[in-house]
Amino acid sequence: MAARSEVVHCYAQLASIVSLMAALARAKEWDRLPELEAQCAAVIERLRIATPQESLDAAQIEEAQRLLQRIRADQRVVSELVKPQLAHLVATMADLQNRNELDRAYGSR
């Protein structure tokens, strides 16, 4: 196989990070997700720079496509697990805001 390109290397890094995000989301370890999201953003920025400067051979294209499929599958898992948590967080924050408004209106005891 040809030497690994920077583009394929970036896709492999993204696949690894997003896979870890999916595992952490399954384990409900939400506190590590923002850090990993930042790592994804950094790799995507590297990918934006490398992509126009590099041509991939057929094997590299195939590997990149395989990695993209893994990334998309894991992103779906993360999204499916995180969205309900975000909805719960928003509802909790709205409830706290309502309680604060009631406390201000009627005084806390």
* Mean confidence (pLDDT) of the chain: 89
Q: What pLDDT is stored for residue 32 in this prediction?
A: 94
- As a whole number, mean pLDDT of residues 14-33 equals 96
Q: For domain 6-77, give the CATH superfamily.
A: Flagellar protein flit. (1.20.58.380)
pTM, rounded to two decimals: 0.76
- As a whole number, mean pLDDT of residues 91-104 equals 84
- As a whole number, mean pLDDT of residues 33-62 equals 91
Among 22, 105, 15, 17, CA closest to 69: 15
